Amino acid sequence: MISTTTIRAELEDYIKSEGTTLHRFSESAGVNVGTLSGIINGNRPIAIGQLDRITAAMGLPEGHFYELYADECFTSSSPHWRRLRPFLLRCAELQKHDCIKQVLNRLLEDLKQIAGIFDTAEMMYEQGWKEAAVILYESVIESERSSHSERLAMSYYRLFKIHRMDSDKGFKTAMQFLPYRHRLPEVYALDGLLMLVEVYSLKFNWSEAEVYADELCQLAKALYEKKVWKYSDFKPLRPLVYYYGRGYLLKAGSYEYRGMFEESKKWIAEYANLSWFDADDENQTAVIEQFKMFAQANYLCLDIKAGDRSKIPKYVQFLEEEPDELVEGLITLVESANRHQFFIDDILDRFSEEIEKYRLIGKDKWFSESVVSMNRCSVFFQNYAIYNLRKGDYEEGIRSLLYSLKMAISLNNKSLIVNCMTLFELNRKFVTDEQYKNFEELCRKVWENEKENVLYGFGYENA
C-alpha cells in the first residue's frame, strides 16, 4: 500500500492535536515561524536540518520521517543535489541504509546522476561511514556505462579497501578490482597494488603475490624517476619510498615462506639501503631507516631458519630492542626449532608474558583485530603447538593447536584449518575430554561456514 501521508500533514496534525500554536512550536523546534508556515503551506521545501529539529520537537526518534522525506525529494522532476546530498549523508550517519537505497532507486532512473552519487560516496568514505558508502559505490559500478571510467576504477578500489580485512569479501573485491588497477590515479594505484600483494600473500599464492610486488616496485621507481614526488599535488597515502621498499620486502618474504632463503636474500638487498631515494622530509627518512632495520632482522631470520643457531643470541637481542617485531621473531625461532629439531625453552620463558598476550589478539597494543594479525596469530600458535607436542607437553600443545584452529576458522583459511585438524587427529590420544568438546564445537563452526556451498553443490535444498 502506498502511503499518501506527507510530512507537512503530520506536522499540521501534531500542532492541532497538541493544542499549541505555530509560533510556540517554531520556538521549541528552533525553526523560524515564517519558514515553518511556508513548509506547512507547501511553499518552501524542508531542509534536512530543519526536519531533524522538527522531528525532535515532536518527540519522535531521529530519522522518523526519512522515508517520507526521500519521496518528497522527488516531487519535482529534477532533484537538486544541494538538498539530496545532506539527506544522504545524514542517512549514512544514522545508518538509515534503506532510505539511501530508496533514493538511489529513483536517482538511477537518470544516469546523469552517477557523478553526484560517486561524489557523495567519497564524502561518506572520508567520514568513515563505510557501509553506506559501499551502497553508493556498488550503484556506480552497476550503472556506469564506460568501462574506462576513472569513477568505475575508483569505486572498485574503494570497495577493495573497505573489505580488504574481511577474508572472504577481501579476496572477492580484490578479483573485481584487479582489471582496473591501471586505470586509477597513480597515488591510488600504488595503494591498490600493495593491497593485491598482501591479499595474495595471505592466500599463500606466491606466484601472483610476486607479480604484483614487481608491478608495485616498478611503478614506484618510475614515479620516482619522473620526480612526480616534487609536485605539490602528488600526495600518496604513504611516502613513495615506502611502496618501493614494501614491494621488495613482500617479494623477499614470498621466497622465505617457500624455503628459498638465498633467493630471498637477493630481494632483501633491494630494500636494505634506500638512501638513494631523495629524503626531503622526516617521514621518508624514517621509512628508509625502518627498512634498513627490517633488512638486518630478515637476514638474521633467514640464517636462523636455515639452521644457523649461532645467530639466535643476536636475533633475540634485536627482538628485545624492537618489541614491535617480537611476534614475527617468535614465529621464526619456533619454526626453526621445529624444523631443525632443537629446543629454545629459555627464550620462550623469557617471552612467556608476551606469548600469553598474543592470545588476546585485538585486545592489547600489539595488534588490531585484522586479517593480517590474526593470520600471524594462527601461524604462531600452530608452530608453538608442534613445539610443545615435540616436548611431550601435550596439554599446552593441544591448547595452542585449538587456539590456532579458532583463528584459522575466523579467517576461513582452509590450509591452516586442515593443518590444525590433521595435527589434532594425529595427537588425539593426548586430548582431554574438555579439549575434544572444544574441538567438536570448532568443527561445527567449520561446517556452518561450508554447509551452504557443499549442500548447494550436491543439489540439496534443505540442510
Any idea what the CATH number is for the domain that residue 11 is in?
A: 1.10.260.40
Instruction: Write down which residue in 53, 72, 91 finishes a domain.
Output: 72
Domain extent, residue 459, equals 324-463
Cell (9 digits) for 146: 564506460
Cβ contact 184:196 at 8 Å: no
CA dihedral 68, 70, 72, 77 (to 10 degrees): -150
**pLDDT, position 109:** 86
State the total domains in the chain. 2
| Residue with the three cell numbers 545508518 | 95
Tell me how long the chain is.
Answer: 463
Model pLDDT for residues 354-409, shown as the tens digit of each residue? 888 877 764 433 344 456 677 888 899 999 999 999 999 999 999 999 999 998 88
Cell (9 digits) for 366: 600489539
Report pTM. Answer: 0.84
In a domain, 31, yes or no: yes
Instruction: Write down which residue in 9, 37, 72 finishes a domain.
Output: 72
Distance CA 62, CA 90 (A): 10
**pLDDT, position 279:** 61
In a domain, 246, yes or no: no
**pLDDT, position 364:** 38
In a domain, 143, yes or no: no
User: Which residues in the chain land under pLDDT 50?
Assistant: 1-3, 362-369, 457-463
In a domain, 401, yes or no: yes
**pLDDT, position 270:** 97
In a domain, 293, yes or no: no
In a domain, 384, yes or no: yes
The phi and psi torsions of 147 (rounded to 5 degrees) equal -70, -15
**pLDDT, position 140:** 96
In a domain, 216, yes or no: no
In a domain, 411, yes or no: yes
Instruction: Write down which residue in 72, 95, 112 finishes a domain.
Output: 72
**pLDDT, position 449:** 75
Cell (9 digits) for 71: 519521496
Cβ contact 57:25 at 8 Å: yes
Distance CA 43, CA 37 (A): 8
**pLDDT, position 281:** 73
